[in-house]
């Protein structure tokens, strides 16, 4: 089984979910237009939400954030 140690605390996971939902809603409502910026904002929203749901951020791990103590 594939196992990743979480490196995001609960407060940051909640914040990422909230920001992903807000940004996704803004994309859905057309606040970013219909061009490349809209696609980039949608991808950022999906990335924020998915890293929050998994609890692991690869970018944070590359910058040196260690796994959380359980």
Q: What are 11-54's pLDDT values in tens digits?
A: 999 999 999 999 999 999 999 888 999 999 999 999 999 999 99
User: Does residue 68 lie in a domain region?
Assistant: no
* Ordered DSSP codes for 23-57: HHHHHHTTTT-SSHHHHHHHHHHHHHHHHHHHT--
- Report yes or no: 19 and 46 within 8 Å, Cβ to Cβ: no
- What is the predicted pLDDT for the residue at 16? 96
User: In 10 A of CB 65, how many CB atoms?
Assistant: 13
User: Does residue 1 lie in a domain region?
Assistant: no
- What is the predicted pLDDT for the residue at 2? 64
User: Does residue 34 lie in a domain region?
Assistant: yes
Domain of 35, in residue numbers: 10-62
The pTM (predicted TM-score) of the whole model is 0.82
Q: How many domains does the chain have?
A: 1
User: Does residue 69 lie in a domain region?
Assistant: no
């Amino acid at each position: 089984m594939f196992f990743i140690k979480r490196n995001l605390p609960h407060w940051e996971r909640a914040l990422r979910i909230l920001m992903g939902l807000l940004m996704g809603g803004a994309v859905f409502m057309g606040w970013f237009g219909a061009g490349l910026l809209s696609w980039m904002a949608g991808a950022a929203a999906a990335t924020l939400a998915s890293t929050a749901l998994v609890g692991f951020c690869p970018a944070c791990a590359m910058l040196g954030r260690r796994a959380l103590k359980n």
